[in-house]
Each structure stands twice: as C-alpha cells, then as structure tokens.
Structure 1
Amino acid sequence: MTAEAIKTPTYGNWRRPRKAGLGSFGLIGTVGVFGGLVVVLLASLLSLQAALVIGAPIAALVVPLAIRTQDGRNVYHLMSLRIGWSRRRSRRQHLYVSGPLSARPGGRFRPPGLLSRARMMEGRDPYDRPFGVLHHRHRNLFTVVLGCEPDGGSLVDPDQVDIWVAMWGDWLARLAHEPGLRGASVVVETAPDPGTRLAGEVLTRITPTAPPAARAVLEEVVDSYPSASSEMNTYVTLTYGIPGGDRRDPDDVLTELALRLPGLLAGLVEAGGGFAEPLSAERIAEVVRVAYDPAVAADVLDARSRPGGTGLRWADAGPAAAVETVTAYQHDSGVSRSWLLTLAPRGTVRANVLRSLLEPTPTIRRKRVALIYRPIDPATSARIVEADRRAAQFMATSTRGMVRARAASEVRAAEQTASEEAAGAGLVEFSMVVTVTVDTAAEVADANATVRNLVGAARLEMRPADRMQAAAFSCALPVGILPWEQAMIPHELQEAL
C-alpha cells in the first residue's frame, strides 16, 4: 500500500450578501443620514437653534438603525417584536381552544395560527398516487409535501457522498427555474419508536402452535426493542404561488402540480433521498396531528397499519388547546420550544456537520429540524454576486493590516461564487428552524441545554424564537409555511432596513 493520504471532501463558501448602505445603517438608514445632514446644514444657515431642533429628532430616528444585534436585527425590529407580542396578549390571541365545546364555528379541531386559513385539496399524479396540496388562501400559495427515506451516510464511500451533495445542489439550483416556486423546505423529524409497527409485524405472525420458548423470545423482543430504537421521517415541501396573483381553478392547479411531481421525485432519488413519494392529504393531516399531540403517535401508527387507515381530515388535525408564552408553546400533550438560525458554520465543513443535530435525542419526545430554502432566479443571482464581488474588491483596496487579510479572503470567496454562478450554479438563501417537544414545562430547561450542546457541535449559532414560538412551531412543520411570505413588511424593504 502507498502512503497516499485520503482527502475528505469539504464544503462551504456560503456567505451573506453585502447590503447597500453605510456601515450598519442599511440603505434606508444611509439615505436618512445623508438626507438629515442636508436638512441640518440648510437649517444652520438660518440659526444654530433651528439646526439643533431639526437635527435632534432626525438623529433619534436614525441612530436605532445602526444599533444591531449579532443576527443583524436593529432596535426597530426588537421593538416591533415586543409590541406585536403585547398586542396578541391583550387580545388573548396567544390562547387557542377548539372542538365542540369551543366558541369556534363548526366544532372541529382546525390547526391554529398561520394554518388556520389553510385548506386541504387532493389530486392524483401520473402514477395514480394521491397527493395532498395545502392551499394557503390568505397568500394564494399551494404546498406539495413529499416524503422520502434518505440512504444515510453510514458505510458509504466519500466519493458517493460527494456525488449526493453535488446532485442535491443541482436539485436546489433547478428549483430556481420552477415556474411560480416561492420556496422549499426539508424537515427531518425524529422521535422514540413506539414499537407499534414492530408489534404489528411480529405478533400477528406468531402461530398458535409455536413453542413457548420461541413465543417468549419474540414477545421480549417486541417489548424491549423500542426502548433502544427511534423513528426518523424526512419531508420535502414545495410552495408555489400563482404568477401575477391571479385566481385559478383548483383543479387546474392540481393538474399542473401533478405533472411536475415525477421530475422532482427523480431528482430527490438521485440526490440520495432514497424512496420518495408524495404524501396524501390524510398522511399530511396525521403528521400535523402527531406534532400537536405527541401522545397519539402510537395510536396513529396502529390505525394506519389497519385497512382503511386513520381517516383523519385536515379540519381535525389541530390541537384541542394551545397556549403561547414568551419562551415556549404548550399544545395538548406536549410543550415545544423553537430556535432560529443566526449564523451558518464559518469556513469549510464536512458532509456530516449536521449529523449530531439530526440524530434522535433520547431525552426529547420529538425533534424537528427544518431547513428552509429560497431559490433566487438566475437574473437576480447574477446581480447579487456581481455586487458582492465589487464590494469585496473595494474593501480589499481600502483597508490595511489584518483587516486587509480578511478582506482578501472575502475577495477570493466572492470570486469563487461569481465563477460558479457563471458556470450554471444556483444561488439559494437558506435558514433553519429547530423545534423540540417535551412532555412537561419542567423539562424545557433540560431540552434547552441539550439543544445548545447539539448546536455547538454542529458549529451553528441559533437564538430562541422568543415571543413568536407559535409561528416558529408552524414554520418547522412540513406544511410549507415560508417566513418571508407571512411578514407584513415586504422582503425588499426588510433588506433595505
């Protein structure tokens, strides 16, 4: 054998696009600073007192735009978050009660919050498989949910993993060419295995004439195996919008989405997604029902294995009661806490950087890790990478010392991004939401410490979604909730802030 070293592929080069503006002010803050200076100078021609009277309120309005947290939020963002939470509490919108004994019309258990106005539809793909489509009527968006069983990275050659990563990047790049696609997400859900499927497979096959010793061994396996095993589900959601905001017939939308599914599923299989298929309306309702009430997971699996399935409908997939607090979200038999990504791993990483975060955690009832993607069309991608490239070159030529060394590294990263985009690679904005569910509120503190350890091992920086735990919980579900589509302020204006 030779002493040739085995190189492990590394990945990275993700970076935040540089925003226009002076320092941390942003575009709007920069316009406010220079506009205020012009107004103050004109007022100073009259008198010094007039300049002070005009300049003081302008400074009071502009300075909060420059004070930012680590994740880029300014004072106005923090104030709007607290004001919104106070308004929801005063209107008692943080409380939710449904069912026959509630004041809600219909007496059904509809999902709350961002999912309260969603409507479920169902169609058939070219292979005559049923697939559910969630219609978010307030935004006129349509979401398709795909279920897949990834092959995993154990006992797989690094070359094969590198191929999967390349094919996954190609699949994400092709999403930018999907007509009307607004965003996508990948949700990995882990939970302890209740053993229902194992019991259904083993106990039903034991014959009455089986030896007592063999029967005892099988029964012991059924009782003890679930304590050391776990359940892992992976979902991919694709959310489409109607170009121009036009209203279209739901049947036409279902037909168009059905024609796109085979190509999307084939791309997932090539990227290591394993067996992939669209989820039916009943299956989507089951996933949401178990998320809100983890105690019924075993009953849902048991009913699904029987002829006829669960028969669960979207109108009954929500909780009977839910209470949102500053730091948690209580719903039926579980208490959840969510975290939002603030900074991706710096430098280069290996393919298994998220393994510790995605693997099951024994002390947590359920855990969902949602990667949210926003594909950018090729024309906008070219403008973004060229603007980043010019900004990096300007910083490299206008700085000195150690700061210049960092600026030179930024230039190399920007040049690599520009060359990859010119060669056909796609540009995608991404974020992450992590939600953990425990049995009682007393266990939230332990879950918080566990998540901090997992996030540190993955080299991520995340912050708790305080004062918006209910919305973050919905974003982590495989139902196609896109945060930038739910905001009252347009995405372009938020970027300018």
Structure 2
Amino acid sequence: MSASAAGATHPTYGNWRRPRRAGLGPLGLVGTVVVFGGLVLTLLISLISLVAALAALVPLGLMLLPLMVRTQDGRNLYQLVAVRVGWIRRKAKGAHVYASGPLSRRPGGRFRPPGLLGKVRMAEGHDAYGRPFGVLHHPDRNLYTIVLGCEPDGGSLVDPDQVDVWVASWGDWLARLSHEPQLKGATVVVETAPDPGTRLALEVLPQISDDAPAVARAVMEEVVQSYPAASSEMHTYIALTYGIPDGRKRGTQEIVTDLAIRIPGLLNGLVGAGGGSASPLSAEQIAEVTRVAYDPAVAPDVLTARASAGGTGLEWEDAGPMAAVESVGAYHHDSGVSRTWMLTLAPRGTVSSSVLRNMLEPAPGIRRKRVALLYRPIDPATSARIVEADRRAAQFMATSGRGMIQARAASEMRAAEQTASEEASGAGLVEFSLMVTATVDSADQLPDATAILRNLQASARVSMRPADRMQAAAFTCTLPLGILPWEHVLLPRELQEAL
C-alpha cells in the first residue's frame, strides 16, 4: 500500500497488483509448456505423415482452449468445471447435509463444528500476563491458530492526521507479519449485528430503586426497550495461523508456550494501529463466537450468561450447529441462513482510508454480517523475487507494445517500479483477499440481503461474486478460526499458480 502525494490533508492509497502469470498470455506456465511440447511433437509426426500431424493438433487445441478462457478473477474453465464436479460428488455422497447431537450418527453425541472444523481440537494456555488464550489445532495441516480480540477506536471525530498514523501503523504491523516465524496467514474479521439490548437491560434495570417514582421507572424501562432498536454491536477479531517447520516434531504444549511469548508483542502492535483495547480470546470465548455464528438466536442468551455468570462454560465440542444444509447459493444452519461473497477485483486506482467504512458498518435487514480480510504475508526473500520478476515482465510489455497497449503497459511499469522501490526500502509484500458473509433469519430474506451487499460493494469499489457450490467452506473461512483457503486445496499452490 502506498500513499499518494496528491495532498497532505487527504492522502490516498492504492497500487494493489497481481503478480504476472508466467507463460504466454492467458495460458499460464503449464499451458505454455503444453503448447511448445505439442508443437515439437506435431513437427516430429509431420515427418511421417501430414494427416497424422493435423489430427494431433485437434486434441491439442481442445485441451488448450479451456486454459485461454478465463473469468475476471483469473479462473479458467478447468477450475470452473472442478468446482461443479466437486459439488455434484458432495451432494451424491450426502456430504452437504450435517446433523449432530445425541440422536445423530456422529460419535460422542456432541455438537462439533462441521466441515473444515470437524477435526479441529482446542487447547488453552496463558500468556506472560496470565491471560488465558485458546489455541486451535488443525491436525490435517498441522497448523495452530490463536485469536485476538480488539475494540478499534473508529474514525468518527478523529483528526485525519491520526487516521493516517493508524493506517501507517497497520501497514507496518502487516509488514512485520512476514518476519513472524512460520506464520502461514492472518484473518481480520469484523462482525456486526443488531444490539439485542441484553447488556443495557442488565446494567440499567438492577440499578432502579424500589422507591423510584413511577414516571422515572417508566422512562428508564422505555429506554431499555427502545434504545437497542437503533444501536448495534461490533466485534473485531484477528486470527493468526502458524505452522511447524518440516521435519520437526513438537508437542502441543511446546507450541502453546511458544505462542504465549509472541502474544504481547502482537497486541502492542495492534494498539498502536488503532486497535484500542486488545486481548487474546480464551477457549471458551472462541467457542461462544462459533456457537453464535451457527445459531444467531442464542446471542442474547450468551450475552446474558457473560454478564450474570462471567461466562457460559461452553466447550469447543459443543460449539457447532445441530443441523446444517448446504445448497448452491446458501448455507442453512440452525436459526440462520447465510450467503458468502468472495473478492474478484480490488479497487482500481487510488482510494481513501474510509473506502470500506460502509461495508464494515451494520446493515439494516441483515441479522449478522462478517467482513473477513485474509492476508498471506510473504517472506522478504520471496518478495524480492516476485517484485523483480514482475518488474521485468512490465518492462518487456512496455517496450514491445504499441498505441493503447503500450500506454497501459507503461502505467503498469510505473506501478511495478514503485512496488520494487518500496520493497527495497523495507516494505512488506502481502497477498490479500476479501470475503463477506450475510446471515438472515430465512431464505426469503436472501434476495434483499443480496441487494444490500451489492450496494455496499459498489460503495467500496470492489467486485465480488457469490461462493456458489462452496458456501459451507466459504462460511467457515469468514469465522475467526484460522481457516486459510490456500492451505486446504487438493493441488499444490505452485501448480495452481502455473495453471
């Protein structure tokens, strides 16, 4: 992210770039290798028979055609077909339906979270200040996740200079993540929901004196009933997921101790970036967040238990839904129906620091909304290679094109040069994406929620698409539980980039 020098009072930010794909045009590296290999093979066959050589070109062209047709976010036809085939297979096996509890076939009779969270285990430790924090262990990928909660100060009635300092501090905090040993990714989740009024009632009603006048009592009771209708609650969570070096065997307790040492430094960076009061989430709090996401109707009960008893006593094994059904465009779970959108195109040009404000604020007509920013920090050595390769590719395009193509390539070259200069001066390189989940009470409310989200996307200058045929996995990715999409794929990430 780079600040523009257009004005000192209203700086702008931008220069988000996708690394250029290796290969010829839209073919990618694999397609380019297939093209040259096929041409060599065709030439060899033509020495024997011209007809056979022409016949070999037909399947080669049919195989390369899907690689040349791509969507706005860079997916080719093979990837689109793979999503549909995966959905058909899951539906044929009944994997799109989930049931838990004592009357289900699940062993243990408890309400474990479904899908990608089905095998996750919970551990707990204490940091240097004695605060408890939960650690989610993903055994399939041998990853460990901690969750930090914070109360951001917000931008209302704040001087622009202070906002600029917060943005710079946030960029510095993200850059430092690339130096975190074995950090695989980070997820920032901003969750908003209408205020049920539970906390206000528990705070005000017990304070009313028995000898209070009837008018005063009626006024206070009316405030408790009417005020929550115009207010909302907002929570911000940051999930950090760590891996283990290859070839090393470390126990869970050793991992927990290592993470406990890192937490104070991470929290200090968040406070400096405008995160407000920040602290790690305990295992019980993580379970409560998960339980409310799958069953929004229990949110008032959870708040009541926290205020009256100091906690719910909820365990991770009981944080999942009783039943969940995935469809093509929605995810039905207990008392809610959710739809998730994924980023396809970041804002082009420059934007202000408040570009996502409307998307992050509560939206009328939506029961709960989660905006998740997913970050994949890149280590300095890899960053230098990516930036230099992108710079060389931009220079080649700028010197080989003509007319409008050359003008656009020249703009790309300037952006690549700026990125290379910032990386050389110590800035971090981070890959990011955006996902939004809207939860409503019934499927009939989904069209209205979809219209609201489209308007919010337009105000944020981002392009998004529904996560059709993978709504359950996308819903899980927007929870602050450390599910990183690039860590849960069948093909290696390097091979996917080559496609």
1:238 aligns with 2:240: yes
Aligned positions of 1:192-341 closer than 5 A: 192-244=194-246, 246-341=248-343
Could you report, residue by residue, the CA deviation over 1:40-77 in whole angstroms, capped at 9, with x for unpaired residues?
11111111121123222222212211111111100110
Residues 1:397 and 2:402 aligned together:
no
Separation in 2, partners of 1:34, 1:159: 55
**CA pair 56-17 structure 1, distance change in 2 beyond 3 A:** same
Equivalent residue in structure 2 for 1:96, among 79, 95, 98: 98
**1:121-174 residue CA offsets vs partner (Å, 9 max, x unmatched):** 100000000000000111110000000000101111111111111110110010
Question: How far apart, in 1, do the equivalents of 2:29 and 2:405 lie?
Answer: 24
CA distance in 1, matches of 2:400, 2:439: 49
Shift of 1:292: 0.3
Alignment partner of 1:428: what SS? strand
- Which runs of no fewer than 5 residues in structure 1 stay unpaired? none
What is the match of residue 4 of structure 2? none
1:206-233 Cα shifts (integer Å, max 9, x gaps):
1211222211111110000000000100
Is it true that 1:491 corresponds to 2:493 in the alignment? yes
Give the share of equivalent positions with the same residue, in percent: 72
Q: Distance in 2 between matches of 1:172 and 1:80?
A: 33
What amino acid is aligned across from residue 401 of structure 1 in structure 2? G
SS state at 2:193 partner: strand
> Following the alignment from structure 2 to structure 1, what is the Cα–Cα distance between the partners of residues 234 and 432?
23
**Aligned pairs (5 A) from 1:408-487:** 408-487=410-489
1:278-311 Cα distance to aligned partner (Å, 9 max, x none): 0000000000000000000000100111225100
User: In the superposition, relative to structure 1, how do residues 477 and 207 fare at CA in structure 2: closer, same or farther (>3 Å)?
Assistant: same
Q: Is the 8 A contact 1:140 1:245 kept in 2?
A: no
Distance in 2 (alpha carbons) for counterparts of 1:399 and 1:53: 34
Mapped contact 2:208–2:217 kept (Cα < 8 A): yes
Contact 1:292 1:334 survives alignment (8 Å)? yes
Find the aligned partners of 2:309 and 2:233 in 1 and give their Cα distance. 22
Q: C-alpha separation between the residues in 2 aligned to 1:394 and 1:254?
A: 48
Flag structure 2 segments of 5+ consecutive residues without an equivalent: 1-6
- One-letter amino acid of the counterpart of residue 207, structure 2: R
CA distance in 1, matches of 2:247, 2:95: 29
Any idea what SS the aligned residue of 2:13 has? coil
Which of 51, 73, 76 aligns to 2:75? It is 73
Cα distance 1:193–1:308, how it changes in 2: closer, same or farther (>3 A)? closer
Q: 2:356 & 2:210 partners in 1: Cα distance?
A: 47
Residue 360 of structure 2 aligns with which residue?
358
Q: Hey, what's the Cα distance between the residues in 2 that align with 1:350 and 1:60?
A: 45
CA contact (8 A) 1:9 1:158 kept: no
**In the aligned structure 2, how far is the partner of 1:472 from the partner of 1:326?**
12
Between 1:20-29 and 1:304-313, the stretch displaced more is: 304-313
**Length-normalised TM-score, structure 2:** 0.98
Distance 2:26 2:262 in 1: 43
TM-score by length of 1: 0.98
Asked if the contact 1:363–1:447 (Cα under 8 Å) also holds between the matched residues in 2, the reply is yes
Residues in 2 aligned to 1:70 and 1:240: alpha-carbon distance in whole angstroms: 31
Aligned partner letter, 1:436: A
Q: Is 1:167 the counterpart of 2:147 in the alignment?
A: no
4+ long deviations beyond 6 Å = none
Letter in structure 2 aligned against 1:213: V
Structure-2 separation of matches of 1:495 and 1:6: 39
Task: Report the Cα distance in structure 1 between the residues aligned to 2:215 and 2:15, rounded to whole angstroms.
Answer: 59
Counterpart of 1:154 (choices 153, 156, 160) is 156
Count of residue pairs the alignment pairs up? 493
- One-letter amino acid of the structure 1 residue matched with residue 333 of structure 2: H
Cα distance per residue 1:428-468 (max 9 Å; x no partner): 00001100000001111111111111101100000110000
